[in-house]
Amino acid sequence: MLGIGVQTQNAVTDDNPFIGFERLKKAGFTNCDFSLNGYLKNTNLYQNELNQFFNQSTEELCEYFRPHKEAAKANGIGINQMHMPYPAYIPTAKDEVNEYLWEKMIPKSM
């Protein structure tokens, strides 16, 4: 069955994901593209700026996002895909930026 989906970026927040998923449901959405791009912004990457979000272990990231998963389920919103941060390679970036993208961000986003 097909549904109607939308990205969660700027709609679902970390401080209270239930409210965001509730709004999506009330707006008629049935599924979402869970957006990770806010956790490592491309505007920062192009400036060779990294944060440490994806340095967390897989277990820590799963725990971090548990409230999102539970809120989506409680509101009947399916998470049908994930939108990892982008880009995955920056030709002009320092090596440490691209290494972080390849070794931390990409595998942990998957």
Q: Which residue has the higher pLDDT, 2 or 59?
A: 59
State how far the Cα of 25 lies from the Cα of 19, in Å rounded to an integer.
10
The string of pLDDT tens digits covering residues 6-51 is 999 999 999 999 999 999 999 999 999 999 999 999 999 999 999 9
Residue 99 has pLDDT above 90, yes or no: yes
pLDDT of residue 27: 97
Confidence tier at 2 by pLDDT (50, 70, 90): confident
pLDDT of residue 1: 63
* pLDDT (average), residues 73-80: 96
For 16: left if phi > 0, alpha if psi spans -120 to 50, otherwise beta; the answer is: beta
pLDDT of residue 52: 92
